């Protein structure tokens, strides 16, 4: 019975929100930064120590939703180099932040960064392993 009352309330409430032009929490909160383009991606991982260097291409942006590929080289302290990369999907938050995932061959890395001019600085984490690090992406000239 409670569920039926909740459903009736929602049925009355949602059209009222639409009629008044109110926004929902999942709607974009205004203008978002345009991050489409090619970015030089570099980063690190503390343990085990790795440096990352590659290219992030944001090829599609629809409002706040972004996608594209990341390709990078991972180099360990012993000098071994390994290529990695994969599809990127995420979102731009207003004109100041990004939150995206990279689906690599063996894991997924979550990235959260702050946009300042033509640079994104932030941190990443592999939830499955707990490994983490920092990254910087600098937009290439058009």
Measured CA to CA, the distance from residue 12 to residue 23 in angstroms comes to: 16
Q: Supply the pTM of this predicted model.
A: 0.78
Measured CA to CA, the distance from residue 33 to residue 15 in angstroms comes to: 31
**Pick from 141, 123, 137: nearest CA to 71:** 137
For residue 111, the surrounding DSSP H or E stretch is strand 108-116
pLDDT attached to residue 2: 43
Summarised one tens digit per residue, pLDDT across range 113-123 is: 999 999 999 99
Mean pLDDT of 10-34: 52
Q: Which domains does the chain have, with CATH numbers?
A: 37-139 (2.40.128.120)
- Residue 68 neighbours by CB under 8 Å, 6+ apart: 56, 57, 58, 59, 60, 87, 88
């Amino acid at each position: 019975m409670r569920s039926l009352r909740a459903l009736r309330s929602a049925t009355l409430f949602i059209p009222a929100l639409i009629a008044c032009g109110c926004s929902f929490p999942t709607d974009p909160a205004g203008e978002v930064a345009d991050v489409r383009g090619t970015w030089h991606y570099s980063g690190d991982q503390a343990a085990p120590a790795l440096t990352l260097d590659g290219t992030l291409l944001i090829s599609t942006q629809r409002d706040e939703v972004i996608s594209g590929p990341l390709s990078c080289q991972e180099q360990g302290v012993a000098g071994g180099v390994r290529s990695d990369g994969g599809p990127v999907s995420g979102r731009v938050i207003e004109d100041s932040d990004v939150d995206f995932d990279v689906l690599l061959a063996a894991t997924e890395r979550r990235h959260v960064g702050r946009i300042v001019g033509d640079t994104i600085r932030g941190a990443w984490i592999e939830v499955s392993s707990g490994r983490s690090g920092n990254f910087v992406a600098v937009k290439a000239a058009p």
